Every structure is written in C-alpha cells, then in structure tokens.
Copies of this chain bind each other. A is one copy, B any other.
Amino acid sequence: MATLKEIASRAGVSVYTVSKVLSDQTESARISAARAEAVRRIAQEMNFRPNGVARAMRQGRTLQVGVLVPNNPGNRFAHPLAYETILGINEGLQQAGYLVALARIDDVRRGLEEQSRMFKERVLDGMIVLDSMPADVEQRLEEIIPKCVWCDSNMWREHGCIRRDEEQAGRLAGEAAVSLGYRQIAMVTYSPEYRSHFSASERLAGVRAMVEPLGRPLEILIEPGVADMPRRRQLAEQLHPELIVICHSIYQAQALRSMGEEVEKIAGRDYGLICCDDMHQLDRLWPGLSRVTFDRYGMGLEAARMMLKMIASEKTACVSRRLGGELLLGTTTRARDGSGTGRNGAAAAPAGE
C-alpha cells in the first residue's frame, strides 16, 4: 500500500514531483529526466498503484458509471439479451478508463436508496438505464443521478436515448411473412397487460402495418404459461404448413419450437416461424431461425459513447438514436407456392442510421 508520500521520502523529492512523474507530466512540470527515472524506479519497486478513491475525491469525478437493470421481485431470471448490451456498454466505458458498476432493482416495492448504495450515496458520474422502469422510478433517477442515458427504455426524447427501431423489426418480419406466401399469419406475443415495454406495441404495430392493409387478418396468440400443458399442446396442434407464426421475442420463438417438437412438428417443414428479434450466437445455436437481426452489443457500445459525451458535456452529440436491423431468412420459413419469391428473395435492405 505505498503512497506518493512514501515514494517521495525514499526518492528524496517532494510529493509534487512524484505525482507529476507518475502521471506523465514531466515536461509541463519540467522535471529532469534523471529524477523522473529515479522516481519511476522506486515506484515500481514499491509496487505502487495510485489510490483511485483519493484521486476521485480530489478531481471531483469518480470515473464510474452505473448500469441499471430491472428485476422482478425474487426472480432469478437472467435476461441474456440484457447481458449482451451490458458487455457492449462495458467495452465502451472500460477502454475510456471508466468502471462499470451493476445494479439490479426491484419494481417499486422499496425505495431506490434501500436497494443499492449507488442511490444512497454519490459514487457515479452517470448511469445507463437498461430496459424500462416504472415512470416514477425513471423520474427519481433523474433527480438522483447527474447524467442518465436511456437504453432500450420507454423513455424517449430528443437527447440521451438509444433504442432499436422496433417498428421496423415488426415491419420486416410482417413483410417477409406476406411475401413468402403463407396463407395464414399469426403473432405470438405477451398478453396485453404485459406489453408495457415499448417494443411490444411497436413490433406488433409494425407487423400489423404490413399485414392488415393487404386484407390479411393477423391472429394474436399468447404464449401459454410454462405449466399450462393443455394450452401448450393446443397451440402446437394449431400449427400447419400454411401458417406462419411471427414471434415477438427469441424467448417465444424458442418456446414455440419446443411446443411444436412435443407433437413432432418442425419449424419450416410443418409451420413457418419468424422472429422479430435476434440474439448473439444464434448462428451457432439455431442458425436456421428466420429473424430480424439486431446487434445489441453494438447498441451497448453506442450507449457508452453517448454517456462519455454526456459527461464531457457535448450535449449536441447526444441526440437520441434509433438503430436498425435486417431480415435474415433461414430454414424455419419457406416460400409457399405462388408467392413468386425465392428462398431468400424477401431480404430487405438494412435500416438507415
């Protein structure tokens, strides 16, 4: 636990000199090369590592940014998609010298302050909020934390927000369903009371916009609960080759695939399946899934950049952004007779940025 003071006394110089040398300001402080070298050697010998806390205190900034993820009480569910974003955020911040501190909070059962020291004390330069929080929590956050970036959140305004273009995702999936020539189109999503995240309504709206103007009805299917065997089976029995199911999320796509398998139905052969969302490594785990791609890691990286600009007070650089994806047709969809569309014929251009 060496300190500048100890190094200074060993080297026979002042604390000032040590500080300047170790922070590479020898020229501006015009410290002789010989002295600088001696100081560096001693610091090295003493295995010196600066006390980040003292530095933060002096400089009035912590070089720490929080990442807030939501949690349902007592739920151990680890949302793998959130993790992709977190890693992107981490990459962008870590290389800029920032530490990323994680916090996971319950809905509103308890005050923020009781849940994490992040809210009780001042320890952050800013916070990236992932996913949506109840409106009153969002407001409280802005009072407590100096700079907030809203990532994949319901919060949307001119500055400081970044999200996927979810309506585009819905449109791309809906358009593909139509142009592949399926006679019947359904969508699996959450029941209305669980559609609080903006992606639920936007993806649905995007799908509707492509399907309904053509006079095709869109049937809405709700994912049955894990233990609701009768409804799971019933849903699986409905699947047939002229039906394409558009899944809101990859969770629902995976769940539907499993339900289908239980009655020996395979996506692509026995029904069409396309997903509005994407997950990294799907190219390894389920390469055949037709889907609208999205790079969540990249979104995290962008959120980190936005945070850094916000900390640097470059407000104009923090204009909110909406990120696009593109259609990827795999083996879970097939062109139907008379669709006039080849296997990958419905591929659309990536959305603009």
Contacts and interface: CB of A to CB of B under 8 A. Distances in A.
Contacts of A88: 76
Given A52-B121, A53-B57, A285-B258, A102 B102 contact: yes
Contacts of A101: 64, 99-102
Interface residues of A, number: 68
Given A285-B251, A286-B258, A94 B116 contact: yes
B266 A287 contact: no
A123 B87 contact: no
Contact of A258 (B83, B86, B118, B287): B287
A287 B100 CA distance: 35
Contact of A251 (B56, B79, B284): B284
B122 A49 contact: yes
A88 B77 CA distance: 10
Contacts of A82: 83
Interface in A278-292: 280-281, 283-288
Interface in A39-64: 47, 49-57, 62-64
A209 interface: no
A345 B280 CA distance: 37
A243 interface: no
Interface in A125-183: 143-144
A333 to B, nearest CB: 14
Given A83-B78, A262-B331, A118 B104 contact: no
A192 interface: no
Contact of A297 (B78, B226, B261): B78
B123 A52 contact: yes
A136 B353 CA distance: 43
**Residue among A63, A76, A283, A284 having the largest count of chain B Cβ atoms under 10 Å:** A76
A59 to B, nearest CB: 10
A264 interface: yes
A254 interface: yes
B117 A90 contact: no
A308 to B, nearest CB: 14
10 contacts: A47-B143, A52-B122, A54-B57, A78-B80, A80-B83, A83-B86, A94-B116, A100-B101, A226-B287, A261-B267
6 tightest Cβ-Cβ pairs between the two chains A and B? A52-B121, A80-B80, A52-B123, A83-B83, A78-B84, A254-B285
